[in-house]
Amino acid sequence: MIKIAIFGFGSVGQGVAGVLLSKGDVIRRLIGDFEVVAVTDSKGGLADENGVDLAEALEIKRKRKRLPEGVTTMYIIENMDFDVGIEVTVTNIEHGEPGLTHIKECLKRGQT
């Protein structure tokens, strides 16, 4: 089972979630079983070791414009077990943050 975390749940992150939902069967045939265990935006996130309901996450974001506060990207990186981090936060072109730090920290922990 491949565990995925999505960092950045704006237009691109929501698009990734939509593809995972709509093309999940095709993706599973190609890479095997997967689940998304965390999604975060700039204000908070959702996390569950057993899998986040992506349809519910998209609905929360649509209604509230942001995910619940409390769960941060760095918390996920430092404390959760996941295999693949999809980094799609808004990133400053001059210094690469916050995405650069997210990627570096994931790589230090052996996550891709």
Q: The domain that contains 8 carries what CATH number?
A: 3.40.50.720
Quickly tell me which residue has 């950045």 as its tokens: 8
pTM of the model: 0.89
Q: What is the pLDDT of residues 56-99, one digit of tens each?
A: 999 999 888 888 888 899 999 999 999 999 999 988 888 888 98
pLDDT band at 103 (very low <50, low <70, confident <90, very high): confident
Cα(67)–Cα(109) distance, integer angstroms: 25
Q: Up-side HSE of residue 111: CA atoms within 13 Å toward CB?
A: 23
- Domain with 16 in it: 2-108
In the chain, how many domains are there?
A: 1
Identify the band that residue 111 occupies on the pLDDT scale cut at 50, 70 and 90.
confident
